[in-house]
Amino acid sequence: MNPEVYHVLEFDEILQRIASLAHFSLGKKQILESEPLMSRLKLQRENQLVGDALAICVRYGMLPFGGVRDVSSALIKSKKQGIVSVEEAVHIGRLGHAVKAMNQFMDKVELKVDSVRDVLDSVVVSSTLTAHIDRCFSYQYEVLDQASPELSSIRSRLRKMDEKISRAVNQFMSANAAHLTDTVTTLRHDRTVVMVRVSDKNKFKGVIHGESASGQTAFVEPDFLLALNNEKQMLISMEEEEIERILIDVTQRIALVADQYLANVETLGKLDAVFAKGQWGKLHDGVMTTIADEGIHIKYARHPLIDPKTVVSNTYRLLPPYHMLLITGPNTGGKTVSLKILGLFTLMSYCSIPVLAEEASIQLFDQLFVDIGDDQSIAQSLSTFSSHLSKIARITQHCTSSSLVLLDELGGGTDPMEGESLAMGILDFLRTRQVKTVSTTHYNRLKVYATEHPEILLASVSFDLEKLQPTYRYVEGLAGQSYALDIAKRFEIPMEIIDYSLAMKEKGKTDQQRLMEQLELAIAKQKRVEEELLQKEVQLNQSARSLETMKLKFEQEKEQLLEEAKQKADGIVNELFDEAMLYLEQLKESEKPHQRIEAMKKLEELSSMQAEVVEDADIVVGDQVQILSTHQLGEVVEIRGNQVSVTISGKLFRVKKNQIAKAKVKKAKKTLSRSSVSSAMTAIALECNVIGLRVDEALVVVDKYVDDCVLHRIKTARIIHGHGTGALRTAIWQKLKNHASIQELRLGGQGEGGVGATVIVFKG
pLDDT for the residue numbered 464: 64
pLDDT for the residue numbered 598: 58
Which residue did the predictor score with more confidence, 260 or 492?
260
| Confidence tier at 668 by pLDDT (50, 70, 90) | very low
3-state secondary structure of 122: coil
pLDDT for the residue numbered 676: 40
Residue 470 host element (H or E): strand 469-476
Q: Would you kindly state where each structural domain of the chain is located, as residue ranges?
A: 3-126+257-283, 149-229, 290-508, 604-679, 684-762
- The CATH architecture to which 604-679 belongs is Roll (2.30)
Residue 375 host element (H or E): none
Q: Supply the CATH classification number for the domain 3-126+257-283.
A: 1.10.1420
Are the folds of 290-508 and 684-762 the same?
Answer: no
User: What phi and psi values does residue 619 have, to the nearest 5 degrees?
Assistant: -120, 135
pLDDT for the residue numbered 435: 96
| Confidence tier at 521 by pLDDT (50, 70, 90) | low
| Confidence tier at 727 by pLDDT (50, 70, 90) | confident
Specify which residues 745 forms β-bridges with.
760
pLDDT for the residue numbered 575: 64
Q: Give the chain's mean pLDDT.
A: 83
| Confidence tier at 535 by pLDDT (50, 70, 90) | confident
Highest mean pLDDT among 150-154, 207-211, 526-530: 150-154
pLDDT for the residue numbered 496: 73
CA distance linking residue 205 with residue 187, whole number of Å? 18
| Confidence tier at 515 by pLDDT (50, 70, 90) | low
| Confidence tier at 677 by pLDDT (50, 70, 90) | very low
Q: What's the mean pLDDT in 418-443? A: 91
pLDDT for the residue numbered 486: 59
Q: Supply the CATH classification number for the domain 290-508.
A: 3.40.50.300
Task: Give tens-digit pLDDT for 330-342.
Answer: 666 578 899 999 9
pLDDT for the residue numbered 603: 53
pLDDT for the residue numbered 411: 79
Beta strands in 93-231 (DSSP E): 180-188, 191-197, 206-211, 217-222
Task: Give tens-digit pLDDT for 278-332.
Answer: 999 999 999 999 999 999 999 999 999 999 888 889 999 999 999 999 998 766 6
pLDDT for the residue numbered 664: 62
Identify the CA nearest to 2 among candidates 570, 386, 398, 310. 398
Task: Give tens-digit pLDDT for 681-693.
Answer: 445 677 888 887 8
CA distance linking residue 420 with residue 427, whole number of Å? 11
Evaluate if residue 614 carries a pLDDT over 60: no
Q: Supply the CATH classification number for the domain 684-762.
A: 3.30.1370.110
SS (HEC) of 401-460: CCCEEEECCCCCCCCHHHHHHHHHHHHHHHHHCCCEEEEECCCHHHHHHHHCCCCEEEEE
Evaluate if residue 650 carries a pLDDT over 80: no
CA distance linking residue 14 with residue 302, whole number of Å? 13
Identify the CA nearest to 499 among candidates 485, 484, 513, 482. 485
**How is 480-501 classified by DSSP, letter by letter?**
----HHHHHHHTT--HHHHHHH
- Out of 117-126, 179-188, 218-227, 593-602, pick the least confident: 593-602
CA distance linking residue 702 with residue 158, whole number of Å? 83
Evaluate if residue 83 carries a pLDDT over 60: yes
- Out of 55-69, 193-207, 263-277, 742-756, pick the least confident: 742-756
Q: What's the mean pLDDT in 420-447? A: 90
CA distance linking residue 275 with residue 269, whole number of Å? 10
Evaluate if residue 439 carries a pLDDT over 80: yes
| Confidence tier at 377 by pLDDT (50, 70, 90) | very low
- Out of 83-87, 238-242, 358-362, 541-545, pick the least confident: 541-545
Q: What's the mean pLDDT in 411-415? A: 76
CA distance linking residue 17 with residue 278, whole number of Å? 13
| Confidence tier at 152 by pLDDT (50, 70, 90) | very high
| Confidence tier at 669 by pLDDT (50, 70, 90) | very low
Which residue did the predictor score with more confidence, 376 or 160?
160
Q: What's the mean pLDDT in 539-562? A: 82
Which residue did the predictor score with more confidence, 87 or 752?
87
Q: What percent of the chain has pLDDT over 70?
A: 80
| Confidence tier at 594 by pLDDT (50, 70, 90) | low
| Confidence tier at 695 by pLDDT (50, 70, 90) | confident
Which residue did the predictor score with more confidence, 320 or 541?
320
| Confidence tier at 665 by pLDDT (50, 70, 90) | very low
pLDDT for the residue numbered 1: 63
3-state secondary structure of 210: strand
